[in-house]
Amino acid sequence: QSALTQPASVSGSPGQSITISCTGTSSDVGGYNYVSWYQQHPGKAPKLMIYAVSNRPSGVSNRFSGSKSGNTASLTISGLQAEDEADYYCSSYTSSSTPVVFGGGTKLTVL
Amino acid sequence: QVTLKESGPALVKPTQTLTLTCTFSGFSLSTRGMRVSWIRQPPGKALEWLARIDWDDEKFYSTSLKTRLTISKDTSTNQVVLTMTNMDPVDTATYYCARGGYGAYDLDYWGQGTLVTVSS
């Protein structure tokens, strides 16, 4: 069981917006601004999409945005495209044990 | 251009020790702020963070695997080595190394990963 909770799957049609949630505790997501989001296509390495809750690395589309409220972080993808279909993982620093924890991952399907 | 590449055995027997090497380029682990982590992913499952080594040789480990893991670096060859003792079939996974990013706990560049199967 992963330390951070994500929905197993979400879906949306091209052009729509979707949001993926990542719920933790005050020892991780809620207590620190160290939430990251990764995109992983089948058979590929993860790719950093968001760091420090809401920052986009150079080269990442501005269709991807991150936010946080309390113990829940969110990744929003606007203007869905077929290429966005992938698995998405959140991660956070945690003070409780292992320094970094991941979520269980969310499979995004573009209908 | 930052690149990382993992290398090591594709198959190990139960109880054996796994040694993985991450060879990187485009940055130096002797530069202040640089970090390299190891992460694994069992087939069809989620990512699991394993260990990290920083530019100042500070090391961090997964609490659940701490007794089995050792991470080290060789700045002269741009390599980070992870050893995991007493391998078990449940350790079958793709093992990735990744560079620490600007956010302190994010991973901005990843290797392609190497699949390690534990079987007799």
Cα radius of gyration (chain B)? 14
The verdict on a CB contact (< 8 Å) between B105 and A34 is yes
Average pLDDT, chain A: 95
* Shortest Cα–Cα distance, B61 to chain A (Å): 7
What are the helix and strand counts (H, E) for chain B? 0, 11
Per-residue pLDDT tens digits for A1-43: 568 999 999 999 999 999 999 999 999 999 999 999 999 999 9
Handedness of CA A83, A85, A87, A88 (dihedral sign): positive
Which pLDDT score, from 0 to 100, does residue B24 have? 98
- pLDDT mean over A61-69: 98
Nearest to B103 among A34, A99, A103 (CB): A34
Q: How many percent of chain A have pLDDT more than 90?
A: 93
Instruction: Decide if A99 contacts A93 (C-beta within 8 A).
Output: yes
Residues of B with CB under 8 A from a CB of A: 37, 39, 46-49, 52, 60-64, 96, 98, 101-108, 110-113
For the sheet containing A72-77, what is the strand order? A18-23, A72-77, A64-69
Contact A21, A86 (CB under 8 A): no
Residues 6+ apart with CB under 8 A from B74: B80, B81
Q: What is the pLDDT along chain B (120 residues), one digit of tens a residue?
A: 999 999 999 999 999 999 999 999 999 999 999 999 999 999 999 999 999 999 999 999 999 999 999 999 999 999 999 999 999 999 999 999 999 987 789 999 999 999 999 999
